[in-house]
């Protein structure tokens, strides 16, 4: 009598399973729910702040196309290859982050702190939170084994939200 073979996991599910191995502690998970989105936001802001050359044919869109555009395109493409549904939701989240970053740029133009300064503060404190979370967990961050897990973290959180709403990814 043959037993039914287990269905092979999709690559995205294999990544989530591997990522989850280092994220079992509830305290670490809560820290990740705060710090991972803040790291993504602040990283986008830091890359956005890198001066981008004025390109004539962009016209009034100069300033909205910047180095962060390339980072976004790469990440969304990577997510699309893993799961189109996750990539669409991440694109919506990134669009919200871009809007918030544009507000920080307006604040900078009105005399507030530079974009890179605001984002650097958020980035540093978020990574401190991540380090504390992994100390609580007692395990090293997944990306120390494989850098792709820096990209997996945000969609690992997102997949819980989609599962909660019974949206198949």
Instruction: Quickly state the pLDDT bin for 65 (edges 50, 70, 90).
Output: confident
Tokens representing residue 36 in the block: 């991972």
Position with higher pLDDT, 81 vs 61? 81
Average of pLDDT values for 40-59?
93
- The phi and psi torsions of 62 (rounded to 5 degrees) equal -60, 135
Is residue 3 predicted with pLDDT exceeding 70?
no
Return d(Cα 51, Cα 130) in angstroms, integer: 29
Return d(Cα 11, Cα 167) in angstroms, integer: 18
Other beta carbons within 10 angstroms of residue 31's beta carbon come to 21
Is residue 7 predicted with pLDDT exceeding 90?
no
Q: Which residues 6+ apart lie within 8 Å of 118 measured at CB?
A: 45, 104, 107, 108, 112
In three-state secondary structure terms, 63 is: coil
Percent of the chain with pLDDT over 70: 96
Return d(Cα 69, Cα 64) in angstroms, integer: 8
């Amino acid at each position: 009598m043959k037993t039914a073979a287990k269905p092979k996991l999709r690559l995205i599910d294999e990544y989530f399973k591997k990522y989850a191995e280092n994220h079992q502690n509830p305290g670490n998970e809560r820290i990740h729910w705060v710090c991972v989105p803040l790291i993504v936001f602040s990283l986008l802001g830091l890359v956005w702040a890198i001066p981008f050359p004025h390109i004539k044919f962009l016209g009034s869109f100069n300033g909205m196309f910047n180095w962060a555009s390339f980072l976004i395109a790469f990440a969304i493409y990577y997510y699309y290859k893993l799961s189109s549904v996750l990539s669409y939701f991440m694109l919506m989240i990134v669009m919200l982050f871009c809007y918030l970053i544009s507000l920080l740029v307006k604040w900078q133009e009105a005399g507030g702190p530079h974009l890179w300064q605001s984002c650097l503060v958020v980035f540093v404190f978020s990574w401190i939170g991540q380090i504390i979370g992994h100390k609580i967990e007692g395990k090293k961050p997944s990306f120390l084994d494989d850098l792709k897990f820096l990209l997996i973290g945000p969609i690992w959180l997102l997949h819980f939200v989609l599962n909660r709403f019974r949206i198949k990814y």
